A and B are shown apart, each in its own frame.
Chain A
Amino acid sequence: MNPARFRVLVSGVLIVGVVTSAILILVGFVGSIFVGWDGSFAGLPVAASRASDFSAVFSGLGALRPIAFAQLGLLVLIATPVVRVATSVLAFASERDWLYTAITLLVLGILLVSLFVIR
Chain B
Amino acid sequence: MTTGPELGIFVISAVAGVIGALAGVGGGLFVVPALTSLFGVDIRLAIGASIVSVIATSSGAAAAYVRDRLTDMRVGMFLEVATTSGAIAGALLAAVVAPSLLFILLGIVLLFSAVQQVFKLREELPPVAVASPLARRLGLISSYPDARLGREVPYTAQRIPLGFLLMGFAGLVSGLLGIGSGALKVLAMDGAMRLPMKVSSATSNFMIGVTAAASAGIYLARGDVDPTIAAPVAIGVLAGATVGARLLPRLANRHVRWVFIPVLVIIGLQTLGRGLGVRL
Binding site for B on A (CB under 8 A): 6-8, 10-11, 14-15, 17-18, 21-22, 25-26, 28-29, 32-33, 36-37, 50-54, 67, 70-71, 73-74, 77-82, 84-85, 88, 97, 99-100, 103-104, 106-107, 110-111, 113-116, 118-119
Contacts and interface: CB of A to CB of B under 8 A. Distances in A.
B77 interface: yes
A74 B231 contact: yes
A10 B81 contact: no
Contacts of B238: 18, 22
Contact of A18 (B63, B67, B84, B225): B63
A18 B78 CA distance: 24
B223 interface: yes
Given A81-B213, A88-B77, A26 B235 contact: yes
Contacts of A85: 77, 80, 210
B227 A51 contact: yes
Contact of A10 (B66, B80, B91, B231): B66
Contact of B77 (A54, A74, A100, A118): A100
Given A11-B63, A11-B67, A110-B85, A81 B231 contact: no
Given A25-B231, A33-B3, A71-B227, 19 more contacts: A7-B67, A10-B66, A52-B223, A52-B224, A70-B227, A77-B55, A77-B56, A78-B52, A78-B220, A81-B213, A103-B77, A107-B81, A107-B210, A110-B214, A111-B213, A114-B214, A116-B217, A118-B92, A118-B218
A52 B55 contact: no
Given A74-B225, A81-B59, A114-B91, A11 B66 contact: yes
Q: Is the interface of B mostly helix, strand, loop or mixed?
A: helix
B165 interface: no
A107 B31 CA distance: 28
B63 A107 contact: no
Contacts of A6: 73
Interface in B100-141: 138-139
Interface of B: 1, 3, 6, 45, 48, 52, 55-56, 58-60, 62-64, 66-67, 69, 73-74, 77-78, 80-81, 84-85, 87-88, 91-92, 138-139, 209-210, 212-218, 220-221, 223-228, 230-232, 234-235, 238
Nearest to B227: A70
Contact of B234 (A21, A106, A113): A21
B218 A52 contact: no
24 contacts: A7-B66, A11-B62, A18-B59, A21-B234, A29-B231, A37-B1, A51-B227, A52-B223, A53-B223, A67-B227, A67-B228, A70-B227, A73-B231, A79-B213, A80-B55, A81-B58, A99-B138, A100-B78, A103-B77, A104-B77, A111-B84, A113-B88, A115-B217, A119-B221
A74 B52 contact: yes
Contact of A14 (B62, B139, B212): B62
B99 to A, nearest CB: 18
A52 B51 CA distance: 14
A114 to B, nearest CB: 4
A85 B59 CA distance: 12
B80 A107 contact: yes
Given A29-B231, A103-B77, A115 B62 contact: no
A100 to B, nearest CB: 6
B231 A28 contact: yes
Residue of B58, B88, B209, B224 contacting most chain A CB atoms (<10 Å): B209
A119 B48 CA distance: 16
Contact of B209 (A29, A81, A115): A81
Task: Give me the 6 closest cross-chain CB pairs, A-B, nearest first.
Answer: A14-B63, A81-B209, A70-B227, A115-B217, A114-B214, A11-B67
